[in-house]
Amino acid sequence: MNTEPQKFAEAIGIGFTNIDFLIQAFTHRSYLNEHREISHDHNERLEFLGDAVLELVVTNFLYKTFPGKPEGELTAYRAALVNTTTLSDAAKKLGMNDYLLLSKGEAKDTGRARQYILANTFEAVIGAIYLDQGYDVATDFITTNLLYLIKEIVAKNLWQDAKSFFQEKAQEVEGVTPAYEVLKQIGPDHNKCFTVGVYLRDELVAEGEGHSKQEAEQEAAKGGLEKKGWG
């Protein structure tokens, strides 16, 4: 595994004044549990900061790009741009997987858990860029690696509320209103992961995961639409 964030900085064309910010951005909490000698912190504080910067940049972009759109639609656009799947895909395209500092256990997991780690790391990198280079450079990074996706999201209606659509189809086809239930929640308060199931009567149709109950419900609804062939 490549543990030289300097190479990543060069790949994205940013000359960090303090490369330690970037090293921290790639450091997962689990890595520190196995490497007590490491003096720097894990990436959760940078993720917290980067999340706020990301939301402001995306909101500002959408506000200016779609002057005629109502708040609800802009909120849906933003959710499609900053959800776990979109951010983790962007992180993969940038090769962030190669720079992650993970415990041996976390390093083996390549499924949904890795998606969350990559999405969180993408936000942490934004936080690192913001601290080291400022808002404008962070904005350029987000614009280059994320905002271009809005054309496809709008063109393919990827922003549409899956939960509302699933309810509409369930009532139309099966005459029943879907019910959602939290099946599991793990992680610390600031970084919880929820697993939610969507039911039609007593049938568990699909499950979804997310950092909030709302995101997990949306993912469950997407799975339900796919399972039922209602896409």
Q: Where are the domains of the chain?
A: 5-155, 162-228
Q: Do domains 5-155 and 162-228 have the same CATH topology?
A: no
Q: For 212-218, what is the mean pLDDT?
A: 89
Residue of 124, 126, 160 lying closest to 143 (CA atoms):
126
The CATH architecture that domain 5-155 belongs to is: Orthogonal Bundle (1.10)
Statement: 162-228 belongs to CATH 3.30.160.20: yes
Among 73, 89, 109, 123, the active-site one is: 123
Question: By the 8 A CB rule, do 126 and 50 touch?
Answer: yes
Q: Look up 20 and say whether it is catalytic.
A: no
**Pairing mode of beta strands 193-200, 179-186:** antiparallel
Among 4, 10, 34, 51, the active-site one is: 51
User: Which residues fall within 8 angstroms of residue 217, CB to CB, at 6 or more apart?
Assistant: 163, 180, 196, 198, 208, 210
The answer to whether 120 is annotated as binding is yes
Tell me the percentage of the chain whose pLDDT exceeds 90: 65
Tell me the percentage of the chain whose pLDDT exceeds 70: 98
Residue 52 has a pLDDT of 97
Question: By the 8 A CB rule, do 179 and 198 touch?
Answer: yes
Phi-psi region of 14 (alpha: psi -120 to 50; beta: other; left: phi over 0): beta
Cα–Cα dist 157/160, whole Å:
6
